[in-house]
Amino acid sequence: MAAFTLRRRKEMKYIDLRLPKLDDVDFTTRERERYDALAAEAQGLLRTYENKHGRTGKGAGEAFRHLLEILLRMRQCCNHWQMCGERITNLLAQLEEQKTVDLTPENKKALQDMLQIHIESQEECPICFETLHNPVITTCGHAFGQECISKVIEIQKKCPMCRAELNDDTCLVAPQHDCGDEKADDEMDLTQSSSKLDAMMEILKATKTEGDKTIIFSQWTRFLDIVQARLDRDRYKYCRIDGTMKAPERDAALQRLEKDSECTILLASLGVCSVGLNLTAANQIILSDTWWAPAIEDQAVDRVHRLGQKKETRVFRLVMNKSIEEGTLLIQQEKRKLMKLAFSERESKRDQVKTTGRLADIQQLLRAGDKT
């Protein structure tokens, strides 16, 4: 690739983001108990998957889906203990009893949550083996590229993975929004705090200087709802952009961030704001959670640290101590190294990690937590 491509990276020459040192955030006793329970469940599912996958493969797919769901709940628990609900778990239990589920509003939302796991994990379409394109999920719980599965349904009327009956495209469920964002959950108590939220507010309080503006990125709009409630309580002026908003509303939020000197915070969905926007009106970034693909986070930071930025850019990453987030950072480093190898670029100190496969990534995530 280096023979016919040309790349310019920020690490070259004297360009530097000046990232601050990573400081871990510790769980409270209550949060640690909930997280440890999820981690123990994940360890058990990993052993189940390894045994079934290595022996006959029967039931391995269901175990792997359960494992991905638990990993999602562990990541959400790092942000706020209220976010790791039981919706997907209940759906998986239904799928074990019957091949397909009815598209009730609750089941549809659970399928969309499950599809989001596949999207975040950068799963391949089982039909064409390309990264999921126009991703959809069937009523039997399998994710495909829409074009591929539509052709299979037209010809076979069955799921190619489990042979469940799929009569037409009405058996397919797309993401709730183009960016995968979801509307607020009425069952959540937005007044409850968490260790990560408290750490975020400490950063905002410590860096509250005249003229500085902050972008708070999260991949979960439910967490942005919790942050928004806290900002209201502490009387901060803010605006917001996420995938549930219409284009005019997003434009109005950007205008407010740029023109209103009292509006110092933008709550931003990582899926919406990682590409295509100019956010140079802000000069401080808080990454409230970690994404599997480092390029998504890099693009989000580049919305602020780009041509037109006149102030020094500060980036804070909130990482829970002794959690899956520490393992996610290691996987990010591996992905960066793989990218550099493809372009024959000299690796930096942060990229000296061995590359592994998807199952090995999950094993590393869970076993890294045991070591800590």
In what side-by-side order are the strands of the sheet with 172-173? Answer: 143-145, 135-138, 172-173
- Torsion, Cα 229 234 238 242, to 10 degrees, reads -20
Evaluate whether 194 touches 222 at the Cβ level (below 8 Å): no
- Tens digits of residue pLDDT in 258-279: 999 899 999 998 877 766 788 9
Determine the distance from the C-alpha atom of residue 166 to the mean position of all C-alpha atoms in its chain, rounded to a whole number: 30
Q: What is the pTM of this model?
A: 0.73
**Quick one: what percent of the chain has pLDDT higher than 70?**
75
Q: Is residue 177 part of a domain?
A: no
Residue-level pLDDT at 311: 85
d(CA 169, CA 144): 12
What is d(CA 195, CA 320) in angstroms, rounded to the nearest whole number? 9
Could you tell me if residue 178 is inside a domain? Answer: no
Secondary structure of residue 164 in the 3-state scheme: coil
Say which residue, 249 or 360, is predicted with more confidence.
249
Q: Tell me the longest C-alpha to C-alpha distance in the chain.
A: 64
Whole-number Å distance between alpha carbons of 37 and 41: 6
pLDDT, residue 234, reads 93
Query: For residue 117, is it within any domain?
Result: no
Mean pLDDT, the chain, as a whole number?
A: 79
Look at residues 279, 253, 319, 271 and name the one whose alpha carbon lies nearest to residue 22.
319
pLDDT at 331 over 90: no
Output the pLDDT for position 37.
84
In this structure, what CATH number is given to the domain that contains residue 190? Answer: 3.40.50.300
SS3 163: coil
Domain-located, residue 101: no
Query: With the CA atoms of 365, 367, 370 and 372 taken in that order, what torsion angle do they form, in degrees rounded to the nearest 10?
Result: -60
Nearest-5° angle of CA 319, CA 13, CA 327?
20
The count of domains in the chain is 1
Q: Is residue 203 part of a domain?
A: yes
Cβ atoms < 10 Å from Cβ of 352: 10
Here the tokens at position 142 are 């399998």
Q: Which region among 25-34, 56-65, 121-130 has the lowest average model confidence (pLDDT)?
A: 56-65
CA distances from 103 to 98, 154, 170, 173 (A): 14, 20, 9, 9
Distance (Å, whole) CA 66 – CA 292: 18
- 102: in domain: no
pLDDT of 17 higher than 60: no
Q: Is 218 helix (H, G, I), strand (E, B) or coil?
A: strand
| Better-scored residue on pLDDT, 104 or 215 | 215
Average pLDDT of the segment spanning 245-259: 91
Q: Residue 325, SS3?
A: helix
Phi-psi region of 322 (alpha: psi -120 to 50; beta: other; left: phi over 0): left
* Residue 23 within a domain: no
With a cut of 70, say whether residue 355 has pLDDT above it: no
> Is pLDDT of 255 > 70?
yes
Report pLDDT digits (tens) over 155-209. Answer: 999 999 888 889 899 999 988 755 445 554 556 677 788 999 999 999 998 888 7
Residues 323-335 have a mean pLDDT of 83
Please report the pLDDT score of residue 294 as a whole number.
Answer: 80
Place 351 in a pLDDT band, splitting at 50, 70 and 90.
Answer: very low
User: For residue 138, which phi and psi values (nearest 5 degrees)?
Assistant: -85, 165
With bands split at pLDDT 50, 70 and 90, how would you rate the model's confidence at 352?
Answer: very low
Paired residues of 62 in beta bridges? none
Q: What pLDDT score does 322 carry?
A: 87
Rg, C-alpha atoms of the chain: 21
Query: From CA 267, how far away is CA 225, in angstroms rounded?
Result: 9
User: Residue 71 has what pLDDT?
Assistant: 84
Tell whether the model's pLDDT for residue 249 goes beyond 70: yes
**Alpha helices for the chain (secondary structure H):** 29-55, 60-79, 87-97, 105-120, 146-156, 195-206, 221-233, 247-259, 270-273, 294-302, 324-342, 358-371
What phi and psi, each to the nearest 5 degrees, are found at residue 4?
Answer: -130, 15
pLDDT band for position 353 (cuts 50, 70, 90): very low
Taking only the tens place, the pLDDT of each residue in 77-113 is: 899 887 766 555 666 666 666 778 888 887 888 888 7
Supply the pLDDT for residue 350: 39
Q: Give 98 or 356, the one with higher predicted confidence.
A: 98
Domain residues for the domain of 293 are 185-320
CB atoms within 10 A of CB 235: 6
Provide the pLDDT confidence category of residue 233 given band limits of 50, 70 and 90. Answer: very high
Is there a domain that residue 202 lies in?
yes
